[in-house]
Amino acid sequence: MTDCIFCSIVDGEIPNHSVYEDETVMAFLDANPLARGHTLVIPKSHHERINDLPADLATDLFAAVRDLTERVESAVDASATTVAVNNGELAGQEVPHVHVHIVPRFEGDGGRPIHALIDERPDVDDDELDALAAAIASS
């Protein structure tokens, strides 16, 4: 897609610090890292959100995420990683081309868990959990 920064990286028009590439997926270091080794894993073809990915490509992407998580941790001697996707603009996605962040975590890094994302949590009782589960299961 024209005007997509990650498509330009795939096409070799923008330099990157590549860490992995195969037929369908590539990974490179984030240019503005949250931690040493912060890596982005992307499908080579342009899809905006996880929901838009063809099933096969989602499988390829997650397989690469699995392998790279181990390799990133080992390269920077981290014992944990936060693996996350900002899926859609409202969720903080700035580059509209699917990318999975692998962020190495270190003792005392001041980072927080995914549960720190939202301060105001909804009060959801058992009945509503039932209704929500049914709605998701049947959609």
Report the interface residues with Zn ion, using CB under 5 A. 1, 4, 6-7, 46, 97
Check: CB of residue 80 under 8 Å from CB of residue 112. Answer: no
99 is catalytic: yes
Looking at the DSSP bridge assignments, the partners of residue 25 are 43
DSSP character for 94?
-
Q: Which range touches ligand 5GP (CB under 6 A), out of 47-55, 75-83, 86-94, 112-120?
A: 86-94
Instruction: Specify the residue for token string 């190495």.
Output: 104
Looking at the DSSP bridge assignments, the partners of residue 105 are 80
Residue 1 interacts, among ligand 5GP, Zn ion, none and using kind-specific CB cut-offs from 5 to 8 Å, with Zn ion
Regarding 56 and contact with ligand 5GP (CB under 6 A), the answer is: no
Helix ranges restricted to H, 1-139: 5-10, 55-76, 126-138
Check: CB of residue 96 under 8 Å from CB of residue 77. Answer: no
Catalytic pick among 38, 47, 99, 101: 99
Residue 44 interacts, among ligand 5GP, Zn ion, none and using kind-specific CB cut-offs from 5 to 8 Å, with none
Contact positions vs ligand 5GP (CB under 6 A): 5, 14, 16, 28-32, 40, 86, 92-95
